[in-house]
Amino acid sequence: MGQLDGDTTRQVQDAHLSGAAVVDVHFRLHGLVGPAVLIPADHGYALFGALSRLLPWLHGSPLVGVHPIRGQLVGNRALALTPASTLAFRVPVTVLPGLLPLAGQSIDLEGTVLRVGLPHVRALRPSPVLSSRLVTIKGMLEPDAFLEAARRQLAELGVDGQPALLERAGTRAIEGRGAAPSSPWIRRTLRVRDKEVVGYALRVAGLSPEASIRLQIAGLGGRRRFGCGIFLPERTSTPTQAVQETGERSN
């Protein structure tokens, strides 16, 4: 329990060792309804479903990660799109042609219609500190067990870093709904069909350049296609501020 899927681990390691490039691909998003376009803060499962209807091959590609959409938290677990909002993927360059047909398409995300703009490709860059807004590890619900499982996964990937949970800045619910949390850590849930999957925001520090790129390629935990376990270099603001202000980390 708490281990990476074996086939996925081997494919990630093979791609990294062979020098295959992995990049982030960003498509600008445009709302078609309303002056303030709102989407659910917990949108990973719905977004992947909408994308798969347009690109059925995504279901069979375990190395494709879909970033959570950035936005401004407005309460009641909703995000307002901003000029910085994009539809973003982390993919091997070999699958880039398969994503290009998204440009100009419309996506219905739980009733909000979004138009997909043109793509922009960004290379991964090494950073000694990476963070993910939500990492999920099967069966690991409590902070101590989760952190130990994260350490094991880092070791399996050959990543020399120190993982740590991210602390909350205050007592309010991080995504604007529910009672004040009792834990000091940023704990999130992802709804998948009729179930809620529990995970934590995670920071990994002390990374060498090679280990930083390896972690960005592989991620940690599961459900990368739903936006989980995708790591980005930290912003200049504190990790907690970045998570609370936008619901997602900046590139």
pLDDT per residue rounded down to tens, the chain (251 residues)? 343 444 444 444 454 444 459 999 999 998 776 667 899 999 999 999 999 999 999 987 787 999 999 999 888 888 899 888 999 999 999 989 999 999 999 999 988 899 999 999 999 999 999 999 999 998 898 999 999 999 999 999 999 899 999 988 765 554 544 444 567 899 998 998 888 889 999 999 999 999 999 999 999 998 999 999 999 998 754 444 444 434 433 33
Q: Are 92 and 171 in the same domain?
A: no
Classify residue 3: in a domain, yes or no.
no
Q: Please give the Cα distance from 212 to 236 (Å, whole number).
A: 18
Classify residue 1: in a domain, yes or no.
no
Q: Please give the Cα distance from 206 to 161 (Å, whole number).
A: 5
> Is 80 in a helix, a strand, or coil?
strand
> Is 26 in a helix, a strand, or coil?
strand
Q: Are 186 and 98 in the same domain?
A: no
CA 206 to chain centre: 21
Domain boundary (123, 146, 180) is at 123
Domain boundary (105, 123, 141) is at 123
Classify residue 7: in a domain, yes or no.
no
Q: Please give the Cα distance from 84 to 137 (Å, whole number).
A: 29
172: domain range?
125-246
Classify residue 6: in a domain, yes or no.
no
Q: Are 53 and 109 in the same domain?
A: yes
| pTM for the whole structure | 0.81
Classify residue 10: in a domain, yes or no.
no
Q: Please give the Cα distance from 3 to 26 (Å, whole number).
A: 30
Q: What is the number of domains present in the chain?
A: 2
